[in-house]
Amino acid sequence: MTKFELKKITLILSPGEIKKAAEIIRSGGTVAFPTETVYGLGANALDEDAVAKIFHAKRRPADNPLIVHISSREMLNMVAMDIPALAFKLMDAFWPGALTIILKSKDIVPDITTGGLDTVAVRMPDNEIAISLINESGVPIAAPSANISGRPSPTKAEHVIKDLTGRIDAIITGGDCRLGVESTVIDLTHSPPSLLRPGGLSLEEIISCIGEINVVEDSVKSPGMRYTHYSPKTRLILVEGEQKPALSRMSRLINEFREQGLRVGAIVSRESSPSIECDAKYVLGSVDDLKEVAGRLFSGLRFIDEAGVDVGIAEGVFPEKREGREIMNRLRKAAKEKVICGQ
């Protein structure tokens, strides 16, 4: 067994134990902590050996770049160079917040943090615990989501405890994440900028700030977009289309599976819930309240595994604007199969 495979005692820390968590970061350890988006698994972004522990704990592919979390503009200058004027405009408008910007990396940032690229992904989280941890540690913190790679991202401390206990040094508990979906990723290393990952900050808000943006999802430059993500272990089928035909197709699929003796779970909107009969059901929220749906999405994907069903069916009827864009992006990545009504 390597040192990374050895089971370790994972400390469960309260928000008042930031100094203890920061000492773990400074000494090359790993700490999971809350942000406004999802829980992150952090290590000193400038310490190659420390960052390697993140990849081993998560079983994350080594060519998948990490987001570097900072607490000040001075810390940004430690890791990035050739920062364009648009970056400062975005920072003024949306930092701290759910926006990650991709910039040219300085040599001080090890290749393991950048995924071997010459760019670095950076954001300033809008969470007091996260900012306090970065400040107390005195270093930028590399932090992907605090889950086993490929699994739904963690929005509660319990999710992290379930996935990573015995694999990391500490977990800071901090309640539920306010947004519940990862940050939006914008690449500023070329003109016009590109949206690489929809997230907690809407494309519409960004366009209103800086103008034209290309949409280029799934780029290798973007953390969390190169490989399968968000998937429950249980087989998940996404049914897309207008709400009425999608609801009809879901009901038929559920009946077919149950006739085969299979237990079926469903992830549905509040509007469709009364019409769906299945063995286990998770209501995401109303199609008219996409913030609520986004905040409950990852818990819903985890519910499919926790419910002990044989197959899950998710309703994909959310309008692809503002939060709906990130909701549909995550659902498509989570599903092993997709059914588009009318095809």
Between 216-220, 254-258, 332-336, the lowest mean confidence (pLDDT) is in 216-220
Query: Which amino acid is it at 257?
Result: F
Compute the mean pLDDT over every residue in the chain, rounded to the nearest whole number: 93
Beta bridge partner(s), residue 141: 44, 69
CATH topology assigned to domain 11-215:
DHBP synthase (3.90.870)
Tens-place pLDDT, residues 238-295: 999 998 999 999 999 999 999 999 999 999 999 999 999 999 999 999 999 999 999 9
Strand pairing report for 31-33 and 170-172? parallel
> What is the location of CATH 3.90.870.10 in the chain?
11-215
4 closest CA partner among 39, 50, 35, 40: 50
**Residue 266 per-residue DSSP state:** E
Which residues are bridge partners to 42 per DSSP?
31
Long-range contacts of range 7-12, CB-CB < 8 Å, 24 or more positions apart? 7/166, 8/166, 8/167, 8/168, 8/169, 9/166, 10/161, 10/164, 10/165, 10/166, 10/167, 10/168, 10/169, 10/170, 10/171, 11/169, 11/170, 11/171, 12/161, 12/170, 12/171, 12/173
Q: Where in the chain is the domain with CATH 3.40.50.11030?
A: 235-340
Using one digit for the tens of pLDDT, what is the confidence trace for 38-70?
999 999 999 999 999 999 999 888 888 999 999
168-204 tens-digit pLDDT: 999 999 999 999 999 999 999 999 999 999 999 999 9
Cα 143 from Cα 54, distance rounded (Å) = 8
- State which CATH number among 3.30.70.20, 3.40.50.11030, 3.90.180.10, 3.30.1360.170 fits the domain covering 235-340: 3.40.50.11030
pLDDT of 296 strictly over 60: yes
pLDDT number for residue 222: 60
Whole-number pLDDT of residue 216: 79
What is residue 3's three-state secondary structure? coil
